[in-house]
Structure 1
């Protein structure tokens, strides 16, 4: 009995742990900074991307998702990364590629590491809170209006899939 009481006190009543919000400031591909704190109160879908990846066609889906929900408050943030050796050599090349091939106007960061010791603090925070680490390009992290990670998806889940749109719509309603 004492052991059960001790464990209950140790982990907190009911076993719930208050997670802290994930935050982060990224260098923008357009210059300046992108702060997730500026978007607090809105859902944000953060996606690590790569221009030379077989999943790069998902840029179309990311833009369509952004177009569909942006007026309701959704932010979609593309985070180009060369962690899987499939990104172009410079942020300027990435920006030109995305504008020419996908007509993107959603927010994008500079080329950023998303895993390992060099991972951006946002991704380190996501890993600490959820144990989620991008396993490939076009992994998705949905952050709720309160700054908490709502859900994560791998590369095979398309941006406009029901799994993603249902979660976004629930956050927007």
Structure 2
């Protein structure tokens, strides 16, 4: 009897995981390594059903100060099903050095608590799966660091914001509120 219950429990667990994978939006259908870590993040498990602001970052860019506003935005809406997700990249030669240095800038210098993925490419054929899908959906690859992409609960890109737009600009905050 106990064995039967255990087998049924495992079977239901596997079916639930398959259902999750089958219903996962393409934009979240990957596993990424967390910044300066050996831990992997299954984006579907972590973010499915949430509104996201996906940002390509660089630790030595003139826009690096936006980490403060990104953190403010994350804290303002995180309890309502929202998250900022950062993707460091050296595609524009502004995130040089080690991933450890990138993590120091994010976590120690700016106090970032939102999820940061490992450094990866965010444009062209080498783009990680998230940014490949962002470009496919929106037609806009990052032209510089700190491009911001608003992703709705269903995994669709619903807003694109260039580097020069502050994360706390009312255009962004109002769109987040509408999506929540």
Compare relative contact order (CA 8 Å, sep 6+) and give the higher one, 1 or 2. Answer: 1
Alpha-carbon displacement from aligned partner over 1:74-106 (angstroms, at most 9, x marks no partner): 111011000000003222111112222111111
Instruction: Tell me the SS of whatever aligns to 2:70.
Output: helix
1:89-104 superposed matches below 5 A:
89-104=97-112
Partner of 2:32: 26
Partner of 2:133: 125
Gaps of 5+ in 2: 1-24
1:21, CA displacement in angstroms? 4.4
What is the RMSD computed on CA atoms of the aligned residues?
1.3
Relative to total residues, which structure has the larger helix share, 1 or 2? 2
1:12-161 superposed matches below 5 A:
21-23=26-28, 24-29=30-35, 30-38=37-45, 39-161=47-169
Partner of 1:8: none
Q: Residues of 2 paired with 1:147 and 1:48: CA distance?
A: 17
Alpha-carbon displacement from aligned partner over 1:14-66 (angstroms, at most 9, x marks no partner): xxxxxx74223321113322233121111011000001100000000000001
Q: Residues of 1 paired with 2:83 and 2:101: CA distance?
A: 23
Gaps of 5+ in 1: 1-19
